[in-house]
């Protein structure tokens, strides 16, 4: 039964909302970062003004880029899109603020940096230790200052701007949710517009952001899941730029989106430069080769080269100034302290002892096909290989933390990978015969994935190689695509079924991570209760004496301040018998 014009128009309106929300969220995030960076350059401290200015600029940009489309008959679509986006932002911020980051890295330096920026620290002109001494804080860990001063700061700046509004440091974790929603919206719109049926595009749009790395770190300030989302976003915009027949958004908007994704990626963590560069270079070469065939080399070369130069200048020279430029000035090394003569080794003690004698390929293989387990150097254990799709004792428990070292992609990922490789080989051959352009896009993505994975020594640790998840995604896409062009109805049904089964298994695989996030919600309730309990105790005594249980988790100090707990931090643990904040505080 054919759709009526009214039904088609309604579906197109819904798709317009989806596209608009995806663009608005991405523009808001990058505008917030740019506003915060500019404020830091002119030495304006963090305040609620950051969010207000970023929001107004976002709305203005959105209306400007759509000015040719907006008229009296459809202006409601754009206004509703803005309202829906604001509601998504408020709801997501509220919900994530109800959870607590109890992780090591989150409380050691991520939250500490966010809290300091919110309190007025300007990382462009001042060291964190100097600021802490001036502010007379309890923070005094030199190792902590090392990472806070020299690591990329884009998530800290964004989180601090949210913190300045909510007075709840945990609400700053919302960037992961916002990027995931934006990516899902943009992926769905592009794939459903150009390459796949709507339901097929919907499954892929769900599978990409709902992945093991994002879910394992969703309630923390870890940045690996975020970087994975940005890598996928970079690839999406590169494909949209290459696909000149996709005209739902202009070339300028496509390049703006790519610039936003790359700028964020380069300033998430140092390896972000590596990932952004490799995928961009692969597509850049493809474009130049194609331009030679089209006799447009000079035009394409100058346009793309200038665009990428501008992106690098903004990403490293402006947004990344407090990291890359400052590191270069102070240490003659933009990537200090992870490379160079003063390099700090953060990997050796984090990997299984047996990995010290193995090459990166063996380590990657063992990590993928082994039992999911958090094996460190001091444990003395080695990865335990297993049959794909089998489950070993304690595997589910081993995936509770945000950075499981072995088998970090989940208990079924090895089997998913094998099925994906087989189906991908089957589909890519047919795609080559059917559509050379789509074939080129897939090969470019696959090449970038291989280079970034095989050239990275630490790719065995799942959180360091989120791009590896692109292989089952590409396998799903390949089967869906050839099903749509297959003249045999029976084969098309089979291809759709197989791809859907891969999707189902991927969703079953991430159920373990969803389970632990549900458990984290219960943990959050207990932490919140302990915060109120500490506040009442402190009020009855004027002050309560606390100590960190195992590590210097100074980030928790800002949680105590958010709940108005009057405390005194000491190193004395022997006199304390009670635990708080998921056993990380003694009092």
| Half-sphere exposure (Cβ direction) of 492: Cα atoms closer than 13 Å | 12
CB 519 within 8 A of CB 485: no
Angstrom distance (rounded) from CA 322 to CA 344: 20
Angstrom distance (rounded) from CA 390 to CA 234: 34
Cα 154 to Cα 29, 48, 75, 264, 409: the distances in Å are 10, 17, 34, 7, 26
- Cβ atoms within 10 A of the Cβ of 50, count? 25
To 10 degrees, what angle do helices 436-454 and 470-485 make?
Answer: 170
Show the beta-strand stretches assigned E in 50-134: none
Angstrom distance (rounded) from CA 548 to CA 534: 14
Q: What is the pLDDT of residues 455-504, one digit of tens each?
A: 999 999 999 999 999 999 999 999 999 999 998 999 999 999 999 999 99
Beta bridge partners of 370: 385
Length of the chain, please?
Answer: 587
pLDDT tops 90 at residue 549: no
CB 408 within 8 A of CB 461: yes
Q: What is the pLDDT of residues 287-339, one digit of tens each?
A: 999 999 999 999 999 999 999 999 999 999 999 999 999 999 999 999 999 98
Q: What is the pLDDT of residues 62-74, one digit of tens each?
A: 999 999 899 988 9
Angstrom distance (rounded) from CA 567 to CA 558: 11
562: Cβ contacts below 8 Å, ≥ 6 apart: 167, 168, 169
CB 250 within 8 A of CB 65: yes
Q: Which residue is it, tokens 């754009």?
A: 78
Q: Which residue is it, tokens 């923390």?
A: 220
What is the overall mean pLDDT for the chain?
Answer: 95
- The first and second tokens of residue 188, run together, are 């769905």
- Kindly state the average pLDDT of the residues 104-120: 96
pTM: 0.96
Cα 182 to Cα 155, 259, 277: the distances in Å are 16, 15, 22
Angstrom distance (rounded) from CA 543 to CA 17: 51
CB 254 within 8 A of CB 233: no
């Amino acid at each position: 039964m054919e759709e009526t014009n009214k039904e088609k128009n309604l579906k197109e309106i819904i798709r317009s909302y989806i596209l608009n929300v995806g663009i608005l969220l991405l523009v808001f995030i990058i505008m917030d970062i740019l506003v915060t960076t500019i404020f830091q350059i002119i030495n304006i401290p963090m305040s609620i003004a950051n969010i207000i200015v970023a929001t107004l600029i976002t709305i203005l940009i959105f209306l400007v880029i759509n000015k040719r489309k907006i008229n009296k008959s459809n202006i409601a679509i754009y206004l509703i899109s803005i309202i829906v986006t604001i509601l998504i932002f408020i709801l997501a911020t509220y919900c994530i603020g109800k959870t607590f980051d109890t992780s090591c890295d989150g409380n050691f330096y991520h939250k500490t940096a966010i809290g300091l920026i919110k309190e007025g620290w300007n990382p462009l002109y001042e060291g964190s230790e100097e600021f802490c001494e001036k502010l007379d804080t309890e923070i005094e860990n030199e190792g902590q200052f090392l990472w806070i001063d020299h690591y990329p700061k884009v998530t800290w700046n964004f989180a601090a701007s949210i913190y300045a509004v909510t007075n709840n440091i945990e609400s700053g974790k919302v960037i992961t949710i916002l990027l995931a929603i934006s990516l899902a919206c943009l992926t769905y719109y592009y794939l459903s517009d150009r390459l796949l049926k709507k339901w097929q595009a919907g499954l892929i749009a769900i599978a990409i952001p709902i992945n093991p790395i994002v879910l394992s770190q969703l309630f923390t300030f870890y940045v690996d899941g975020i970087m994975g989302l940005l890598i996928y976003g970079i690839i999406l915009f590169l494909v949209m730029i290459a696909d000149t027949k996709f005209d739902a958004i202009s070339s300028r908007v496509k390049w703006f989106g790519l610039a936003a994704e790359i700028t964020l990626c380069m300033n998430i963590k140092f390896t972000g430069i590596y990932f952004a560069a490799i995928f961009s270079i692969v597509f850049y070469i493809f474009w130049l080769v194609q331009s030679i065939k089209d006799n447009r080399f000079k035009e394409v070369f100058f346009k793309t080269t200038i665009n990428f130069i501008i992106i690098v200048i903004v990403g490293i020279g402006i947004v990344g100034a407090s990291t890359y430029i400052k590191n270069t000035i102070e240490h003659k090394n933009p990537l200090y302290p992870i490379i160079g003569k003063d390099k700090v080794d953060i990997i050796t003690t984090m990997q299984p002892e047996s990995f010290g004698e193995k090459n990166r390929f063996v380590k990657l293989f063992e990590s993928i096909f082994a039992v999911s387990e958090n094996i460190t150097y001091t444990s003395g254990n080695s990865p335990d290989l297993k049959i794909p799709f089998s489950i070993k004792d304690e595997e589910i428990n081993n995936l509770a933390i945000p950075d499981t070292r072995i088998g970090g992609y989940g208990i079924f990922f090895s089997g998913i990978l094998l099925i994906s490789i087989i189906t991908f080989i089957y589909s890519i051959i047919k795609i080559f015969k059917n559509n050379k352009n789509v074939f080129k896009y897939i090969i470019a993505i696959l090449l970038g994935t291989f280079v970034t994975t095989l050239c990275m020594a630490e790719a065995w640790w799942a959180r360091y190689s989120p791009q590896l998840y692109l292989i089952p995604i590409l396998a799903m896409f390949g089967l869906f695509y050839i099903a749509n062009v297959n003249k045999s109805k029976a084969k098309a049904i089979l291809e759709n079924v197989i791809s859907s089964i891969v999707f189902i298994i991927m969703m079953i695989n991430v159920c373990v991570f969803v389970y632990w996030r549900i458990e984290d919600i219960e943990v959050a309730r207990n932490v919140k209760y302990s915060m109120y309990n500490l506040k009442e105790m402190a009020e009855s005594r004027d002050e309560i004496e606390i100590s960190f249980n195992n590590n210097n988790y100074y980030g928790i100090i800002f949680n105590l301040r958010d709940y108005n707990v009057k405390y005194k931090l000491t190193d004395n643990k022997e006199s304390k018998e009670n635990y708080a904040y998921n056993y990380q505080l003694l009092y």
